[in-house]
Amino acid sequence: MTRAVIFDLDGTLIDSAPDIHGTANTLMTRHGLAPFTPAETRSFIGSGVPHFIACCLRARGRAGDAALKAQLIAEFIESYESAVTLTRVWPGVPEALAALGAEAMPLGICTNKPVRPARSVLAHLALDAHFPVVIGGDSLSARKPDPSPLQAAVAALGARDVVFVGDSEVDAETAARAGLPFALYTRGYRKGPVAAIPHDRAFDDFNALPEIVQSLLS
C-alpha cells in the first residue's frame, strides 16, 4: 500500500492570516462593529468559518445574535475565495513538496477552510498540482478535530502509511483520533506551547520535513 503525507493548510503550508484578517475587518466595518488586530483574528483561526465568525461576534459582545452570525458566515465565505493576495507560502514549502513528490509519495490536504477557497489559494500560489486530494471544512458533515475528514483524505489517496502535518492543537487531536503520526510545524497558528501539543516530531524549517516523514514511516 501507498505511503503518503497529508497537510493542514492555513498556518501549516501557508500564512493566510493577513487575508483572513482583512476579510474579517471588511465585514466588521460593513456591520458597524469595531475591527480586530492581526493577533486577534489569528487567534480565531483553525476550526472553520462558523467557529471563526462565532469568535468574532463573541469578542464584540454579539455572541447571541444568530441572524447576524448566519449573515456573516455567508458573507465571509462569499469573499473568502478571492482572499488570496496577501497570503504567502512558508519558506521551504515548495522544496519540501518537490522532495516528497520525488519519492513518489502522494500528497493531500485536510483543512477546515472551505474547499473552494482552499483550492483557490492553492492555485494562486501554484501549489495545486502537488495535491490530487483536497478535503475542506465543508467537504463532509464534520470538521477537524473529528477524524473523518482526515480519514477521507487517506482513503482518497489510497494510502495506508500516512503522516499528518499540521500546526495546531486541532490538528494534533485530529491525528490522534485517526491513529496517525503527527508532525507539528511550530511557526504556525498554535494557541499554546509546543510542549503542550501531542506530536511525534516538531519542526520549524520545512527543509527538515522529508527526513522527518521518512523516519516516521520507516
Residue type (1 letter), 189: Y
200 is catalytic: no
Are 188 and 44 a contacting pair, CB within 8 Å? no
Q: Is 187 helix (H, G, I), strand (E, B) or coil?
A: coil
Beta bridge partners of 2: 159
Beta bridge partners of 90: none
32: left (phi over 0), alpha (psi -120 to 50) or beta: left
Beta bridge partners of 164: 6, 182
Q: Where in the sequence numbering do the catalytic residues fall?
A: 8
